[in-house]
């Protein structure tokens, strides 16, 4: 059995700092680390500092110095961590510095400098954490809550305002997932494009670099990790344009999941949707100029209170003009507690049913034509399922997210495993799926 990596812990300061130390220890212990009572037996030393008074700062600096002399590999966390300049000036060789209550950052710094050793005999949890998804793709949650107040939604009431995770914690998690075999990261949140707004885009240290908690910076960092990076729940804010350039460069998948919910300005206004502006069509055209391969998936609500026949027709025309590759549709339902329930103009159920059917018909038509344009191309696909008895595999293109979008059905496929990324030539399509054969090399 592999030996558990050992951590030495020096905990200074008040009871709050002590509780922080306990939390850090609990997390690390559950990940298979053990602890050493002396410097000698430790592979790395964690110093949880105090910075309340000058005397406490001095004591913390001395403790860091002692740990460096006795062991040499030191990570600093806690209140003095906010004064990184002071620590670096006195002790330039510390491995990483994180501030108070930054559990994720300190744990990810430990992972980086002393990776956990997976031990299949004692680990209840695999290296990548427990996942409900297959081994080759994983969801990566970058924030909780939402600052928007859409009239039909109660998520902010339940989950509160936006709370973004530090970039270092997300990147550390992504790295662990990729190490354990994940080939595709699905970035999720309630409002991915708002990532970091709540923390004013604060930086955190990842692999010796300061990384901003900002949508573009995070997308770029993730895109450089070598896995497919797919972005969900993005709103069409102007700063999204920059991320489309990352797609054109091939760093991030040419795929955007934007829950537009409607297109008619009246309905959008009543829905209080974020980034609601009349120029969205122009924005989409501009995106497609930058990245012609871009696929857009979206969701729409029909039968929202006050939606007129004109609003609905507007939506259908818009959907065609915007060429939404993948559209899902919900019939409006009054969720208990949602402000939209107070609105006049309730749409009868049979009208909702009719509009739903009409929208899905238009959406299928658009999807068919978009997919038809891919026929003849040679593309990379990721394999979700292998059916040897049928001599084919079920895969997905870069334009398809798992569970919600279509598939690429590859025939004459042999020697291919789940999770493989293979090159195929598209031979045909229907409304949802592409059909292909392995590409000849």
Annotated binding site for [4Fe-4S] cluster: 14, 50, 79, 146, 150, 153
Residue whose CB is less far from ligand SF4, 206 or 300? 300
Q: Does 191 bind ligand SF4 (CB under 6 A)?
A: yes
Per-residue binding string, ligand SF4, 274-313, x by CB under 6 A, is x---------------------------------------
Residue from 34, 128, 148, 372 binding ligand SF4 (CB under 6 A) = 148
Residue whose CB is less far from ligand SF4, 18 or 163? 163
Residue whose CB is less far from ligand SF4, 338 or 351? 338
Stretch that binds ligand SF4, among 36-44, 84-92, 144-152, 246-254 (CB under 6 A): 144-152
Residue from 118, 134, 156, 328 binding ligand SF4 (CB under 6 A) = 156
Site for ligand SF4 in 346-365 (CB under 6 A): none
Residue whose CB is less far from ligand SF4, 63 or 150? 150
Q: Does 178 bind ligand SF4 (CB under 6 A)?
A: no
Residue whose CB is less far from ligand SF4, 37 or 239? 239
Stretch that binds ligand SF4, among 3-11, 44-52, 96-104, 149-157 (CB under 6 A): 149-157
Buried b (16+ CB within 10 A) or exposed e, 82-113: bbbeebeeebeebbbbbbbbbbbbbbbbbbbe
Three-state secondary structure of the chain:
CCCCCEEEEEECCCHHHHHHHHHHHHHHHHCCCEEECCCCCCCEEEEEECCCCHHHHHHHHHHHHHHHHHCCCEEEEEHHHHCHHHHHHHCCCCCEECCCCCHHHHHHHHHHHCCCCCCCCCCCCCCCCCCCCCCCEEEEECEECCCCCCCCCCHHHHHCCCEECCHHHHHHHHHHHHHCCCCEEEEECCCHHHCCHHHCCCEEEECCEEEECCHHHHHHHHHCCCCEEEECCCCCCCCHHHHHHHHHCCCCCCEEECCCECCCHHHHHHHCCCCCCCCHHHHHHHHHHHCCCCEEEEEEEECCCCCCHHHHHHHHHHHHHHCCCEEEEEECCCCCCCHHHHCCCCCCHHHHHHHHHHHHHHHHHHHHHHHHCCCCCEEEEEEEEEEHHHCEEEEEECCCCCCCCCCEEEECCCCCCCCCEEEEEEEEECCCCEEEEECCC
Least gap, CB of 147 to ligand SF4 (angstroms): 8
Per-residue binding string, ligand SF4, 215-254, x by CB under 6 A, is ----------------------------------------
Q: Does 393 bind ligand SF4 (CB under 6 A)?
A: no
Least gap, CB of 215 to ligand SF4 (angstroms): 14
Least gap, CB of 234 to ligand SF4 (angstroms): 11
Contact 439, 416 (CB under 8 A): no
Q: Does 142 bind ligand SF4 (CB under 6 A)?
A: no
Q: Does 99 bind ligand SF4 (CB under 6 A)?
A: no
Torsion of CA 407, 408, 413, 419, to 10 degrees: -60
Residue whose CB is less far from ligand SF4, 228 or 233? 233
Residue from 82, 155, 248, 418 binding ligand SF4 (CB under 6 A) = 155
Residue from 50, 150, 316, 363 binding ligand SF4 (CB under 6 A) = 150
Residue whose CB is less far from ligand SF4, 153 or 315? 153
Q: Does 197 bind ligand SF4 (CB under 6 A)?
A: no
Pairwise CA distance, residues 244 & 248, whole Å: 6
Least gap, CB of 255 to ligand SF4 (angstroms): 19
Strand partners, 58: none
Least gap, CB of 159 to ligand SF4 (angstroms): 8
Stretch that binds ligand SF4, among 16-24, 48-56, 147-155, 224-232 (CB under 6 A): 147-155
Residues annotated as binding site? 14, 50, 79, 146, 150, 153
Residue whose CB is less far from ligand SF4, 147 or 242? 147
Q: Please list, in sequence order, all residues whose beta carbon lies within 8 angstroms of the beta carbon of residue 373, skipping any fewer than 6 positions away.
A: none
Q: Does 153 bind ligand SF4 (CB under 6 A)?
A: yes
Binding site for ligand SF4 (CB under 6 A): 146, 148-150, 153, 155-156, 190-191, 274
């Amino acid at each position: 059995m592999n030996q558990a990596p050992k951590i030495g812990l020096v905990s200074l300061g008040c009871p709050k700092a002590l509780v922080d130390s306990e939390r850090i220890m609990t997390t690390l212990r559950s990940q298979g680390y053990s602890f050493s009572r002396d410097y000698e037996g430790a592979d790395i030393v964690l110093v949880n500092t105090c910075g309340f008074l000058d005397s406490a700062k001095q004591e913390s600096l001395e403790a860091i110095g002692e740990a460096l002399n006795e062991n040499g590999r030191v990570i600093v966390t806690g209140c003095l961590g906010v004064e990184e300049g002071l620590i670096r000036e006195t002790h330039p060789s510390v491995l990483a510095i994180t501030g108070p209550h930054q559990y994720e950052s300190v744990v990810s710094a430990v992972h980086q400098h002393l990776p956990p050793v997976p031990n299949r005999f004692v680990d209840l949890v695999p290296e990548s954490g427990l996942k409900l998804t297959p081994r080759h793709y994983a969801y990566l949650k970058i924030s909780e809550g939402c600052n928007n107040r859409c009239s039909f939604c109660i998520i902010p009431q339940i989950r509160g305002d936006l709370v973004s995770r530090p970039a270092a914690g997300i990147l550390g998690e992504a790295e662990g997932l990729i190490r354990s075999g994940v080939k595709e990261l699905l970035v999720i949140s309630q409002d991915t494009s708002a990532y970091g707004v709540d923390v004013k885009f604060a930086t955190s240290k990842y692999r010796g670099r300061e990384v901003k908690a900002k949508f573009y910076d995070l997308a770029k960092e993730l895109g450089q990790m070598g896995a497919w990076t797919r972005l969900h729940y993005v709103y069409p804010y102007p700063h999204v344009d920059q991320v489309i350039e990352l797609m054109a460069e091939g760093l991030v998948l040419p795929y955007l999941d934007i829950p537009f919910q409607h297109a008619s300005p009246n309905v959008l206004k009543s829905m209080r949707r974020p980034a609601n502006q009349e120029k969205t069509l122009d924005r989409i055209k501009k995106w497609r100029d930058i990245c012609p391969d871009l696929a857009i998936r979206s969701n729409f609500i029909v039968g929202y209170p006050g939606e007129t026949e004109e609003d609905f027709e507007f939506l259908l025309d818009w959907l065609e003009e915007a060429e939404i590759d993948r559209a899902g549709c919900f019939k409006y339902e009054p969720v208990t507690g949602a402000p939209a329930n107070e609105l006049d103009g309730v749409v009868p159920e049979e009208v909702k049913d009719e509009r739903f059917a009409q929208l899905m018909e238009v959406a299928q038509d658009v999807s068919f034509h978009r997919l038809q344009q891919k026929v003849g191309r040679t593309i990379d696909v990721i394999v979700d399922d292998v059916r040897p008895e049928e001599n084919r595999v079920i895969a997905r293109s870069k334009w398809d997210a798992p569970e919600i979008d279509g598939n690429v059905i590859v025939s004459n496929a042999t020697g291919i495993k789940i999770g493989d990324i293979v090159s195929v030539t598209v031979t045909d399509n229907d409304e949802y799926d592409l059909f292909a054969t392995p590409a000849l090399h």
